[in-house]
Every structure is written in C-alpha cells, then in structure tokens.
Amino acid sequence: MRDTIYCVFSVLTTLVLAVVSLRYVKDFYLLSFFYSFQLHLAVAAAAASIAALVVKRHWYGFLTLGVSLVLAAHGVVMTREFVEPAVDENRPALFRLLSFNIENDNFANGPAIADMVLASGADVVNILEAEPLLSELPRLLKTYPYYIGCGVGMEQCDTLVLSKRPLIEPRIRNLGLLWRNRLTVSTIDFDGRKVNFLAAHLTKPYYDEFHGLEIEDLDEIIPSLPGPLVLAGDFNTSILAPDVQYLMRRQGLGTASLEPATWPIRAGPFGIPIDHVFSKAPLRLKSVRRIENSFGSNHFGLLADFVVDP
C-alpha cells in the first residue's frame, strides 16, 4: 500500500514538473497557461514530494523535491528581474493610471464601476471590455472630457481610454490576427512632459500562436514611440510567460516590486497577475495596487502612480 501511494505521488509530481520544465526547451503555446503558474505548480510539486518521502524514503522523492525547489527559485528570480528601483514615498506622482478589464457582459455593475472611476483620482483610465460603461459615458466625460474608443476611433465599445488632459494623436491598432482594435496608442502632455500610453488587450495564450504574434506587434510598435512610455492592460498571462519575458527584455520595460494578483478572483492574493502596468525609462512606477472590489468582473483592476526621472 505504501509503495502504491508513493508511486501515485511520484507520477503526479513528475508530470507537473515535466510540463513546467518544457518552457526551458520550447515555448509551446498549449502549455503556456501552465507557465504562468510556475511558482504555484513548483510549490505544489515540492509539497507532493515531501508527502511522498513521508510515505517512503527513496532517492526519487529527493530528486523531485530538488527540481521543484529549483523551479520555484527561478520563478521568483524571473518575477524580480524587471523590478524598478523604489521611489521615495514623499516624491509627488506625475500622474495616476487606472487599468481595469470590467468584463463585457457586466452591465449590472456599470454605474458602480463609473462611481469608482470618478473617485479613483486617476488622470488616465484604461477600460477593457468597456461596453457596460457606454451608458455611463455622459457623466464620465464631465471629469474625463478626452477619450478614444466606444464610438471614437472605432464603432465597438471594447477598449476605452479616458483622460483629463488632451490625447495627442490618439489611434487604434490591431494586435495579431485574431481580434481587431485591441490596442490604443496616444500621447499626453503633463505640464511639458509628454508620456506615451499603450492600452492593450491580448488574447488567451493557448489560442494557437496568436498571443506570440501580438507580442511581436508590441515589440515593433514600442520602439516607434520614443520617450516615457506606459504599457498597461490585460495580457491574459503572467510575467513568467516566455513571450512576455522576451518583450520585457527587448524593450527595457519595468514593473513594480510585487505585481498584484488579478485573476482568478476567488484566489484573491494567491492568484496570478495577468493584468499588468509596465513602464519604460525615464518613466518609473512609484506604486501599483489592486482595486480590492472586482465589481462583478472576473479580473481585479489596478491603480498605478508614476514619476519621471530627470
């Protein structure tokens, strides 16, 4: 009986470790969902290895435990690779950004989401799957008179960018080949300092190779926008995904010290960050925090403050 239990633990642990480890051989899109959970799966594999060793002491249990710890450690290293130096708390922020995928059939919570946006103090607001806010636009525009999306630049109400300041040359781009109008590009002048804004909504990473193609499009667009830059939105994958890591390294993007988990909602702080706010020098993130109320969405929103280095 002990041998059977030990074998079950060992087989399951081996399968989990094999799936996670394949990322170091090839970025296979069917497994990309699991790559985002590298830390979670490695910790689970370590726990299963310990349980197997409690049942029966065997060299293979120590091997799987060692591999689990290595994968967990490298997952932590990868999450820390792009962290920007901390900003003095007393340093005033140049602007605040709110980014939130509110879910396109979340109509019952549209008024409450609009109330939250107005109370957030955000200077710029990215709303993805924005149709529930279409009826709330008239009152939102009293605070945010400049916008793109939801009838401006595109007929659909998928991506909506609201701003207290004029949007310079706002435009909407396609990402990849699957969805249309999933990227907005604009520039905003904050008292003489122009900042480029990209609001992106990427497809799920296991939909063939579309996610990788969207990352390639971003990799081409970002260099065409010199100066301070913000890339924010729903990436449907964590920073541990190989293609996101590729983009971050290529474009010199930075993150906050600890990205808040935004999905799944029920997991709370134990979920994964699939919604991101990235910055490019000389722009730096002062802070990023999660909006604790999901307002009926299947994502949590993010509030981020920024500073610009001289």
Mean pLDDT of 186-213: 92
Task: Looking at the structure, tell me whether residues 10 and 134 fall in a common domain.
Answer: no
Instruction: Print the domain residue range for 74.
Output: 1-81
Mean pLDDT of 34-41: 94
Domain end position, chosen among 22, 56, 81: 81
**Structural contact between residues 283 and 229, judged by C-beta atoms closer than 8 angstroms:** yes
Q: What is the CATH number of the domain that holds 241?
A: 3.60.10.10
Query: Residue 223, preceding bond cis, omega within 30 degrees?
Result: no
> Is 208's pLDDT higher than 80?
no
pLDDT at 153: 65
One-character DSSP codes across 204-244: PTTSTTHHHHHHHHHHHHGGGS-SSEEEEEE-SS-TTSHHH
Q: How many helices (H) and strands (E) does the chain have?
A: 8, 12
What percent of the chain is predicted at pLDDT more than 70?
A: 100
Question: Tens digit of pLDDT for each residue in 40-74?
Answer: 999 999 999 999 999 888 889 899 999 999 999 99
pLDDT at residue 161, rounded to an integer: 96
Quote the number of domains for the chain.
2
Instruction: Tell me if 90 is assigned to some domain.
Output: no
Q: What pLDDT shows up at residue 189?
A: 96
pLDDT band at 228 (very low <50, low <70, confident <90, very high): very high
Token pair for residue 261?
Answer: 């988990």
Q: Please give the model's pTM, rounded to 2 decimal places.
A: 0.93
The answer to whether position 87 is within a domain reads no
pLDDT at 188 over 80: yes
